[in-house]
Amino acid sequence: MLSVCAMYAQKPTDYVNPFIGTEGMGHTFPGACAPFGIVQLSPDNDTIPHNVGGKYQPRVYEYCAGYQHGDSTIVGFSHTHFSGTGHSDLGDILVMPGTGAIQLNPGTATDPDSGYRSRFSHDSEKASPGYYEVTLSDYGIRAQMTASQRVGVHRYTFPQGSDGHVVIDLQHGIYNYDGKTLWAEMRVENDTLITGYRITNGWARTNYTYFAISLSQPIIEYGYTDRQKTDYKGGWGKFPQFHNFPEMAGRKLVAWFRFDTAKEPVVEMKVALSATSTEGALLNLRAEAAGKSFEQICKGTENAWNAELETIQVEGTEDQKAMFYTSYYHTMINPSVYMDVDGSYRGLDRNIHKAEGFTNYTVFSLWDTYRAEHPFLALMKPQQARDMAISMIRHQQQSVHGLLPVWSHMGNDNWCMSGYHATSVLADAITKGLDIDKEEALKAMIKTSNVEYYAGLGEYIQLGYVPLDKTATAASNTLEYSYDDWTIYHTALLAGDTKTADTYRKRAMYYSNIYDTELGFARPKYTDGSFKKDFDVRQTYGEGFIEGNSWNFSFHVPQDINGLMKLMGGDKKFIADMDELFGMDLDPKYYEDNEDITAECLIGGYVHGNEPSHHIPYLYAWTSQPWKTQYWLREVMNSKYLNHIRGLGGNDDCGQMSAWYIFTAMGFYPVCPGTDQYVFGAPYLPYMKISLPNGKTLEIKAPAVSDTNRYVKEVRLNGKPYGKMYITHDDILAGGTLEYIMSAKPNKKRGLAASDKPYSLSE
């Protein structure tokens, strides 16, 4: 069979290169998925924990997406993956085909023959949105994958005359540790239908993954082993329990299924997932895959991707188009749909809820994605953005803490990173007119911001800052809470609740309590009000900030850049600090032990590969030298986003890096989500045509743009000169033409008037 998904040229999907970011820091996966689909069917490489000095060492970081391009073996194809994260989990329901003697252990990368894994060559790999293909060279099996939102479809073509089988390993996982799988069960319902589930204690503390597998040809023999036998036998001994016995269970369950591949060399498996039940998985299987061929599902998903991607048409080099559409593609992998086709989903309280009037989503890496990913979806995918916001509110309502999601996936919160930035997403969605109940949202935001046992929040409320003696990341927590409080203030204003607005306006200024005005940077304080001594603004470790140094983090006051500038020493000093940030030669000692910050992701001391700095290039807009933004943005675009396996200068972080790319390519960026403003930078591509969700069209023109002509001389909106340093959400939704007149020289006169400056809480 031809790769059907590769037959249709000149579509946006033809430009998507799923291999971008699969080597190094990108942490993307090359496998098959549908837009916002929960099934992300992708090859896993050497994710297996290693026995280091007798201790089982799970792979926390490098295999977040299950795949590293440098590996030479594939251990199997699992159905759930993160896209671009900095912490790993998932890899649920591993399927691996084989021939000959059945092996039930994965084996090792150094000795692939010791297990079921196989060597492979990248030459045999193909990937496009919704399609992945590879040849498993140890077996001569051609493996093809596609997926709908809830169903992964495998097609294995076995060699002529081979004795083929498939292994399903329910212990396998990404960031696995001994005991991660709490329990698994599997039922062979009939010779072409398998159901089952597993429960894991992973980064999602309690994760229920149910499945239903429909087969294209009958199983002729099967069996299983439980690598960790139970002491409890009951009367099971009266059965041939491990051979052709349809009821399997165990902590470390690995099953095998033989097929008559000599007679029919192709085995197709449709694997539907559900978080509620095998009944839910069967429902999903029937709704999305029953009666459909591999080609139909693959084509359907390719069409779905094109429908999403063709809403933006761009001109540029082939590499630029690849980068653009791959970025757009990456913005629609996570968050992912987390409910059955009938709306049933598993809530934070482990109960089964029905999503009434919305689609429930999961995988919210909010410390990353509140910045650009969610604002981007609010602009281009408002229906999904609205449903994600409601999903967050439901999460809060089901949380025993009353907390909005922090870093949540699969009905759990793993509490990774800091802040309560879901408030930003809600405020932004409300500001941008998405259909969300303001009062309900505000209630969830207020409750969240008052959970006193959450990471120094009680002390923050009491003292006006998080003290360093309470929390190691006290300073960044203070900055993040303060911005989040501004989003509550802003929402309360929109909801007409002035009393709440007053309260949170004060809290939105708490950031100012930790600036050392002599030093001109943020600096953590102790409970007694004294600043930390022996403080190094370049140092990432132990200085009170999370994954960032003070030099970067001090700029994190998106709600009040004017106020911030004063604290940091005024316009000149602020500009000088930014200039130095981009220009400095940062000693590696300041970051070398941090897995999220490498030389690859730096420009001077500016860390594009990690999120806290993402808005910094745009901050020149508030100063007397706005044009400097334009210079540095192109430097970032040219160096941190390459059409190459190692093309991402940091974790894609569930679309945040990619959404940054798209906004920046358009020429503007939501520095302060919650406002209706996008702050101007400089466009990256000569032409872009945006089909807006409201049916209107916005053309963005910058015909002269180039590395030389990187400066914006003038902006014209619908033909008229436009002098403000920002464009509003309504301006964009009105459609028309946004034209950038580019130049090799900066226009140092533009955007200097106070009335042209973007939003700031203080004047």
Binding site for a copy of itself (CB under 8 A): 56, 58, 87, 175, 177-180, 182-183, 185, 187-189, 195, 197, 199, 201-203, 205-206, 230-232, 234-236, 238-240, 244-247, 249, 251, 277-279, 349-352, 400-401, 406-407, 414-418, 453-455, 471
List the one residue out of 327, 369, 374 whose CA is nearest residue 641: 327
- Smallest gap from Cβ 234 to a copy of itself, in A, equals 4
**Using CA atoms, how far apart are residues 21 and 333, in angstroms rounded to an integer?**
14
Both structure tokens of 696: 């209107």
- Smallest gap from Cβ 402 to a copy of itself, in A, equals 10
CB 126 within 8 A of CB 313: no
**Using CA atoms, how far apart are residues 135 and 154, in angstroms rounded to an integer?**
13
List the one residue out of 130, 132, 139 whose CA is nearest residue 112: 139
- Smallest gap from Cβ 231 to a copy of itself, in A, equals 4
| Cβ neighbours of 193 (radius 10 Å) | 16
- Smallest gap from Cβ 450 to a copy of itself, in A, equals 15
Residue placing its CB nearer to a copy of itself in the complex, 455 or 727:
455
Both structure tokens of 315: 């001109």
- Say which residue the tokens 């300041």 belong to: 590
Residue placing its CB nearer to a copy of itself in the complex, 233 or 533:
233
| Cβ neighbours of 161 (radius 10 Å) | 11
Helices of type H across 310-420: 318-330, 366-369, 373-380, 382-398
Residue placing its CB nearer to a copy of itself in the complex, 180 or 729:
180
Residue placing its CB nearer to a copy of itself in the complex, 189 or 315:
189
- Smallest gap from Cβ 312 to a copy of itself, in A, equals 35
**Using CA atoms, how far apart are residues 217 and 185, in angstroms rounded to an integer?**
22
Give the gyration radius of the chain's Cα atoms.
26
- Say which residue the tokens 């030093």 belong to: 519
Would you tell me the crossing angle of helices 422-431 and 438-448 to the nearest 10 degrees? 160
CB 568 within 8 A of CB 511: no
Residue placing its CB nearer to a copy of itself in the complex, 276 or 658:
276
Q: One-letter amino acid identity for 590? A: Y
What is the DSSP code string of 455-488? TTHHHHHHHSS--TTT-TTHHHHHHHHHHHHHHH
Residue placing its CB nearer to a copy of itself in the complex, 231 or 763:
231
Residue placing its CB nearer to a copy of itself in the complex, 278 or 539:
278
Residue placing its CB nearer to a copy of itself in the complex, 109 or 352:
352
- Smallest gap from Cβ 179 to a copy of itself, in A, equals 7
- Smallest gap from Cβ 77 to a copy of itself, in A, equals 24
- Smallest gap from Cβ 238 to a copy of itself, in A, equals 4
Residue placing its CB nearer to a copy of itself in the complex, 278 or 598:
278
Residue placing its CB nearer to a copy of itself in the complex, 362 or 664:
362
**Using CA atoms, how far apart are residues 233 and 754, in angstroms rounded to an integer?**
78
- Smallest gap from Cβ 723 to a copy of itself, in A, equals 44
| Cβ neighbours of 190 (radius 10 Å) | 11
- Smallest gap from Cβ 412 to a copy of itself, in A, equals 8
Residue placing its CB nearer to a copy of itself in the complex, 289 or 417:
417
φ/ψ bin of 146: left (φ > 0), alpha (ψ from -120 to 50), beta (otherwise): beta
Would you tell me the crossing angle of helices 422-431 and 382-398 to the nearest 10 degrees? 140
Residue placing its CB nearer to a copy of itself in the complex, 179 or 721:
179
Taken in order 432, 437, 443, 445, is the CA torsion positive or negative? negative
Which helix (H) or strand (E) covers residue 529, if one does?
Answer: none
List the one residue out of 176, 595, 88, 600 whose CA is nearest residue 365: 88
Q: One-letter amino acid identity for 157? A: T
Residue placing its CB nearer to a copy of itself in the complex, 415 or 687:
415
Residue placing its CB nearer to a copy of itself in the complex, 188 or 333:
188
- Smallest gap from Cβ 92 to a copy of itself, in A, equals 15
**Using CA atoms, how far apart are residues 168 and 179, in angstroms rounded to an integer?**
18
List the one residue out of 716, 695, 698, 705 whose CA is nearest residue 744: 705
- Smallest gap from Cβ 610 to a copy of itself, in A, equals 16
Exposed, middle or buried, 697 (CB in 10 Å: 0-12/13-18/19+)? middle
User: What are residue 515's DSSP bridge partners?
Assistant: 522
E strands within 53-202? 55-57, 73-74, 76-78, 94-99, 118-119, 126-128, 131-136, 141-147, 151-157, 164-169, 181-190, 193-200
- Smallest gap from Cβ 235 to a copy of itself, in A, equals 3
- Smallest gap from Cβ 232 to a copy of itself, in A, equals 6
